[in-house]
Structure 1
Amino acid sequence: MKKRWVFVSALALTLVLAACGSSESSDVEGMEDANETAAVEQESEATGLHEFEYMNQDNEVVTNEDLKGKYSLVNMVFTRCPTVCNLMTPNMTNLQNELDEKGLDVNLVSFTVDPEHDTPEKLKAYGEQYDADFSNWDFLTGYDREEVESFAASSFNSVVQSHPENDDIIHSTQTYLLDINGQVVEQFDGLEVDKEPIIDAIETLVEMEK
């Protein structure tokens, strides 16, 4: 019998958020407090990817249906982010390489939280900067800020919003693991360089499906 993992609580899903733009420790602590407050205000449980039809870095349409049938790793970034995204994206590249070495066929998806600025062309240049393999990694845009705010809240119980004190964007730094039906089954700290917990989780899921 196939087993399904129990999804962690909605609050736990959103406590790790970040506004990109400041390296001062006091500012980071203040942003973490603001993010936790915003997270508490999110009441609906995260369920996974809702129906969508967006554009990737190659100007190709990608839908939620395209991701079904494989496990997926999903995060939220933006190209102008000078801090956390510059850690999250190379971590995802390293993870992509490790998955390939182990023969694990997984979708990687990065949703921009700055869609007005992040065109497909900018996203492709951004991915190339970090040696992303676009064969199974889509950087998605083609929506407005209001839509990604709603999408993040309904799919991941996560906040996307302008920072109240500067021009940065508050967004999740989590990497979400989705099952073959697009439902969230686990989440990981996207700033963590250790890839083994994610690899182990995927291998466990694959074994459960046998």
Structure 2
Amino acid sequence: MPILRTLLASALLLVFGGAVLTVATDGFHAFTSETARRLAVRREPPPVPAVTLETQSGAHVNLAELRGRWVLVDFIYTRCLTWCLALGGEFAQLQDQLAAPLADGRLVLLSISFDPAHDTPAELAAYRQRFRGRDHGWLVARPTSEGDLQQLLHTFGVTVVPDGIDGYVHNAAIQVVDPQGRLVLILDAGNPQAVAQLMRRKLP
């Protein structure tokens, strides 16, 4: 009988544990917070806050002004020697691969710095120039207030942690904002061809 009770208790624990795991991982689909975030964005796209950014030319643009277009967004800081270099290279490739919708205004590339104290318009312009980025279709910008920066990081799910040597550790992705101003998709960095193909399907 003690053995039977032990087996029964073990079975109940397994069932209970499996149920908890199923709920916690969204039916076993989300084993990481990043996966969970991507699933949540697909199900309920959050609106992008209508904050004002200062661009590489010193001009100011409110994100609400970009509604009516598709926007590909990445988050960078100009001193970064890892992910941000890769993302800059990918956006430069996307300028070539999506030249037509960028030229006629159906699509915008937007790199947002999360280091606005250092990344002045001159630094932002130099970052884009490093990749031979052209004027049409690619904005490199910084938030104009700390509150706006925090809103953006929260909405886009970007984690930024000082690394102790005057830089940052951060996650990286290409994020897709639809013409209604909603974050609808989060894409892996590292495959600009796949991003270009996806946007060609979405653009009218």
TM-score relative to the length of structure 1: 0.70
Please say if 1:110 is aligned against 2:111: yes
Q: Read off the aligned partner of 1:67 and give its amino acid letter.
A: L
> Cα distance 1:76–1:108, how it changes in 2: closer, same or farther (>3 A)?
same
Q: What is the alpha-carbon distance in structure 2 between the residues aligned to residue 91 and residue 133 of structure 1? A: 13
> Which residue is equivalent to 2:140?
139
CA apart distance, 1:168? 2.1
The structure whose Rg is larger is 2
Identify which of 12, 15, 23 aligns with 2:34.
12
Once the two structures are superposed, what CA deviation does each residue of 1:44-87 show, in whole Å capped at 9, x if it has no partner? x7614211111100011111122111101000011111122111
Map 1:61-210 → 2, pairs under 5 A:
61-100=60-99, 105-144=106-145, 147-153=148-154, 155-163=155-163, 165-190=164-189, 192=190, 194-207=191-204
Consecutive unaligned residues in structure 1, runs of 5 or more: 1-7, 17-44
Q: What is the alpha-carbon distance in structure 2 between the residues aligned to residue 203 and residue 84 of structure 1? A: 25
Q: Read off the aligned partner of 1:12 and give its amino acid letter.
A: E
State the SS of the aligned residue for 1:141.
Answer: strand
Identity %: 21
Q: What is the alpha-carbon distance in structure 2 between the residues aligned to residue 202 and residue 147 of structure 1? A: 28
Q: Which structure carries more helix by proportion?
A: 2
CA apart distance, 1:149? 3.4
> Which residue is equivalent to 2:46?
47
Q: What is the alpha-carbon distance in structure 1 between the residues aligned to residue 85 and residue 99 of structure 2? A: 22
Is the CA contact 1:161–1:171 (under 8 Å) kept in the aligned structure 2?
yes
TM-score relative to the length of structure 2: 0.71
CA apart distance, 1:91? 1.0
RMSD: 2.8
Q: How many pairs align?
A: 168
State the SS of the aligned residue for 1:133.
Answer: coil
